[in-house]
């Protein structure tokens, strides 16, 4: 009997014409049996910092006033052996030439999502994948991801990927943590420096992970695993 894992996915700067140079797809993953415990611990950190347990953690909310709170979240992630983070970095979207590969940006986007997830899908284990609801296209995204994953990993009987569904990030602590880490990776790779609190938090992540957040990590790195994808 294998292990069932939950995978929580989010993205940053994924649109084709958003005037952002780089793009990041990322995922937090953990054993299903640990998800409730992790959610409770994350809410406890919010309460300890005198925030509502329903406060939504987001990279965009990182500020000097809440720095210690976000630092505690980062430290909790690194201290909990059941939590893992994987991200796919596309450093320069301007180099994409979709016409050379007979595809549009949406088709390429799903290929990248498959590249993000395929390294996490281990035979004999089961996976439930959750994506943050972004817009009215979420249902279409789910159908497309179902098709790509089931066909490309030969999971025609749905024995590996048991579920793919969208959910609201404000209701799921794990998605909020994914947003925070993806935001940090995106900030570094866009070369931004507008917030001292965000730079300090990034430095904390770099110190704890021992990675600069711009390069591909070792393939078997399990805590913070990064893949830098370059357009050919």
Range 56-79 average pLDDT: 98
* Residue burial 186-214, b: 16+ Cβ < 10 Å; e: rest: bbbbbeeeebebbbebbebbbeebebebe
Q: How many CA atoms lie within 13 A of 109 on its CB side?
A: 16
- Mean pLDDT, the chain, whole residue set: 88
| Whether the predicted pLDDT of 138 surpasses 70 | no
Q: Does domain 4-228 sit in CATH 3.30.420.10?
A: yes
Neighbours of 184 (CB within 10 A): 27
- pLDDT tier for residue 32 given thresholds of 50, 70 and 90: very high
Is the CA virtual torsion 56, 60, 66, 67 positive or negative? positive
Instruction: Give 100-109 pLDDT, tens digit per residue.
Output: 555 666 767 7
| DSSP 8-class letter at 82 | T
At what angle are helices 196-209 and 67-79 packed, to 10 degrees? Answer: 20
Structure tokens at 194: 């507008």
User: Domain spans of the chain?
Assistant: 4-228
**With contact defined as beta carbons under 8 Å apart, do 129 and 164 qualify?**
yes
């Amino acid at each position: 009997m294998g292990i069932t894992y939950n995978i929580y996915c989010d993205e940053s700067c994924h649109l084709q014409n958003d005037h952002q140079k780089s793009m990041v797809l990322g995922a937090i993953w953990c054993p299903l049996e640990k998800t409730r415990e992790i959610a409770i611990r994350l809410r406890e950190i919010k309460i300890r910092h005198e925030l509502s347990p329903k406060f939504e953690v987001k990279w965009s909310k990182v500020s000097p006033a809440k720095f210690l709170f976000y630092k505690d979240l980062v430290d909790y992630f690194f201290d909990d052996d059941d939590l893992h983070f994987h991200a796919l970095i596309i450093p320069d979207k301007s180099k994409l030439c979709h016409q050379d590969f007979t595809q549009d940006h949406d088709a390429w986007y799903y290929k990248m999502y498959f590249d993000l997830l395929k390294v996490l899908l281990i035979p004999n284990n089961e996976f439930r994948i959750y994506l943050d609801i972004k817009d009215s296209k979420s249902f279409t995204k789910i159908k497309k991801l179902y098709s790509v994953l089931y066909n490309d990993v030969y999971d025609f009987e749905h024995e590996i990927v048991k579920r793919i569904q969208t959910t609201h990030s404000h209701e799921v602590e794990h998605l909020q943590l994914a947003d925070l880490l993806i935001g940090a990776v995106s900030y570094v790779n866009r070369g931004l420096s507008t917030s001292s609190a965000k730079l300090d938090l990034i430095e904390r992540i770099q110190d704890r992970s021992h990675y600069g957040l711009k390069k591909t990590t070792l393939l078997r790195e399990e805590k913070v695993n990064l893949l830098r994808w370059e357009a050919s």
